[in-house]
Amino acid sequence: MSEANLVDALREQAHPVVSLVAEAAGEVVGHIMLSPVSLGGHPELRVMGLAPMAVAPAHQRKGIGSALVRAGLEQCRQLGFGAVVVLGHPSYYPRFGFLPAARFGIGSEFEAPEEAFMLVELQPGYLADVTGTVQFHAAFKDL
């Protein structure tokens, strides 16, 4: 499944979804999506997963991705979510407060280098004393 199909599937099946676009001169040049994930053994916790996200190559390195991440995290906070996870570039996400999830004792169902699976708490201490494995929406398994 392509990322475009993943976006369609999440829009139809996940709830709530945070989906933002960046525009330049009337053209969509960036997109970010966040949808709920589950943390095994802790159905009461409200955690979002950041994916997918992309900025058009000609518009990269202008701060558009950063603006999308910051706005996306803020919307999750306003929706009452306590943390956000991401499987992504370990040199990109720490600037937004993401830390390796392993430090919290939290892993991903997907195999990935340990430092690539990161999380940020939107409410300080939200994941203190919590461990487990994050499961993404079923649509991610078709990627």
What is the nearest approach in angstroms of ligand COA to the Cβ of residue 118?
Answer: 10
CA distances from 79 to 16, 21, 74, 92, 143 (A): 9, 18, 9, 24, 27
Binding residues for ligand COA restricted to 91-130, rule: CB under 6 A: 91-92
What is the nearest approach in angstroms of ligand COA to the Cβ of residue 18?
Answer: 16
Alpha helices per DSSP H over the chain: 3-13, 64-78
Structure tokens at 24: 């330049």
Instruction: Centre a 10 Å sphere on the Cβ of residue 117 and count the other Cβ atoms it contains.
Output: 22
The CA distance from 88 to 24, in Å, is 25
Nearer to ligand COA, 42 or 107 (CB): 107
Contacts of 124 (CB under 8 A, 6+ apart): none
Binding residues for ligand COA restricted to 68-97, rule: CB under 6 A: 88-89, 91-92
What is the nearest approach in angstroms of ligand COA to the Cβ of residue 27?
Answer: 15
- Convert residues 28-67 into a mask of x (bound to ligand COA by CB under 6 A) and - (unbound): -------------------------xxx----xxxxxxx-
Should residue 24 be labelled a site residue for ligand COA when binding is judged by CB under 6 A? no
Q: How many CA atoms lie within 13 A of 8 on its CB side?
A: 7
Binding site for ligand COA (CB under 6 A): 53-55, 60-66, 88-89, 91-92
